[in-house]
Amino acid sequence: MIAIDPNTGERIGDYAEHSPAAAAALLERAGGAFAAWRETPLAERARRLRAAAGALRARSGEHARLMTREMGKPIGAAEAEVEKCALTCDFFADHAAAFLASEPVTTEAARSYVRFDPLGVVLAVMPWNFPFWQVFRCAAPALAAGNAVALKHASNVPGCALAIEQVFREAGFPQGVFTTLMVGAGLVPGLIRHPAVRAVSLTGSEPAGAAVAALAGAALKKTVLELGGSDPFIVLADADPVAVAAPAALARTINNGQSCIAAKRFIVEEAVAPRFEQALIERMRGLVVGDPADRATQVGPLARADLLAELHGQVTRSLAAGAVLGCGGARLDRAGFFYAPTVLTQVRPGMPAFDEETFGPVAAVARARDADHAVELANLSRYGLGASVWCGDRARGEALAARLEAGAVFVNEAVRSDPRLPFGGVKRSGYGRELAAFGIREFVNVKTVWVR
């Protein structure tokens, strides 16, 4: 595996891959480790998760710099990501006992109840854009529930993959309970079919999710899929369009625009659209683009050259279809994989900027006749991950939230994940939930017990 610094385009590391036989042996070891880990008292599992939180915080700067170097995340955001992982470990350490407590059910039996037992080895197929967070979002609840986790990370963040394994090692997790598999995508089918693997969690693209779901379905193994998103950011006429432009720009450019729950389609009522568009263009033009290791930088590079080319293709095809360029629209003339913060206006269904997921700092603004039309446009997408509504009347915002086809709707706030709340999507954004009580129960056997 080769790591490339997206800030410079330079090769920064070469990592040895596991052979198919070596990967299979590691899965066998994980299966054996699970047999003991599932019998480990939950209080001890929680203690190890708290130790993992401590290990993350102890080397926060090192982990953050690694993310910045391997995938271009601005350093402040990378530090925040490490802390979020630590908080999630603490959260499940604190709440796993309540989430997994047996639930009594009144029947004619002397005693009947439902208990939640671990499944086995969970194969985590994870992406590069949040290289620590998305692993811990899956692993913390799975490990707390008594499962083992085998990580197949994205090939462009190999250093992060090994660093995460080291965190669990430093926290005292038994060997094999968390394992990093240094393999490419070509070995994933074999990993899914391996008898030690009982379930698969994937965060990634829509095609990757469909492929993994088909493989896991053929093997009759549980899956949780968190896939792409084209999140609508709805601005109603009673909102302040100039004030809303500030969180809009941040919501679009979080993680350099490379987030499934970043706002992507800005659907604005006609009455305030001109003012919002101008304010958003000014905000996007004013963002500081540069070296992600520089704390002044607000937008860093895209993670890979192919992602840069794909994003620019979506922009040029949208312009050819009638979108209007407000700002940006080009690769920056510098080393690395930088794209100018971009605003497209007059975007309509049928254009790539509306129909497809744009993974980079490109905001697509579409105008709506009224609130009902805004909801119609928002739902006119094959995705359904997150959505936000910005308005002066919160009750009206909540009423519209009930009509939006999304796994999460935020009113007067940008969409984000939180360990206290379930996270996931509908439609082509996937199925299943991570985080909160719903997430920890995804990879358990919901077992009925009846006692005469």
Helix (H) or strand (E) holding 45, with range, is helix 42-58
Contact between residue 62 and residue 113 where contact means Cβ atoms under 8 Å apart: no
The two tokens of residue 154 are 């994205």
Is-contact 280 248, C-beta < 8 A?
yes
412, two tokens: 């007067």
Q: How far apart are CA 376 and CA 16, in angstroms?
A: 49
Beta bridge partners of 369: none
Structure tokens at 68: 């910045």
Q: How far apart are CA 5 and CA 21, in angstroms?
A: 30
Angle between helices 133-144 and 75-99 (to 10 degrees): 20
- Residue 260 catalytic? yes
Tokens of 156: 């462009």
Write the burial class of residue 140 (CB in 10 Å: 0-12 exposed, 13-18 middle, 19+ buried): buried
Q: In which residue are the tokens 């990879």 written?
A: 443
Query: Which residue stretches of 74-205 are H helix?
Result: 75-99, 133-144, 158-170, 188-193
Catalytic annotation, pick one of 226, 269, 277, 442: 226
How many C-beta atoms lie closer than 10 Å to residue 28's C-beta? 15
CB contact set of 204 (below 8 Å; sequence gap of 6+): 125, 126, 127, 226, 227
Please confirm, yes or no, whether 391 is among the known catalytic residues: no
Residue type, 235: V
Please count the residues of the chain: 452
Contact between 105 and 112 under an 8 Å Cβ cutoff? The reply is yes
Query: Chain centroid to CA 81: how far?
Result: 12
Place of tokens 């350093």: 75
**Structure tokens, 280:** 């958003």
Strands 231-235 and 386-390: parallel
Give me the residue label for tokens 């792409």: 228
- C-alpha closest to that of 137 among 420, 350, 371: 420
CA distance 279 to 249: 10
Structure tokens at 243: 């004030």
Residue positions annotated with a catalytic role: 226, 260
